Amino acid sequence: MADPSSSKRSGASASADSASGARLFLRFYLPPELRTETLALLDRVERAEDPTRHRAELARIVVALTERGLDAYYLEALRTAGAGFLVERSARLGVSSVLGILSPLLGGILGRLDASQLLAVCGHLRGLMR
């Protein structure tokens, strides 16, 4: 992993990007298996006669992607910082708690979406994966 201090940006540089209208983003990398599984599910949903039959699978993938993102943005940062075993363990417990709450919530939300809304979610996920 790169040295975080080597990638610091000055406030002026960040402000210049914002002022220019540049689309700024953060990126995290997926394990190949999760990427393959996600793309396969998106294909199934997008080709399905009834996309609503895949609501539970889509919710499960969204939770898995969220878990990977939390790991990349939060837990990897703690590991890089050398925060220590107890801090990392506490953070993992917090992430697990968040995912425990989020999982049924997402299932309920995606469970209410109609076919066109589910397809929009799939399109959004594809856009994020580019």
13-26 pLDDT, tens digit per residue, is: 555 656 667 878 88
Distances (CA, A) of 45 to 21, 119, 124: 34, 7, 13
State the pLDDT at residue 35.
Answer: 97
Taking the domains of the chain in order of start, what are their residue ranges?
30-128
State the pLDDT at residue 26.
Answer: 84
Q: Contact 55/111 with Cβ under 8 angstroms? A: yes
The pLDDT confidence band at residue 2, using thresholds 50, 70 and 90, is very low
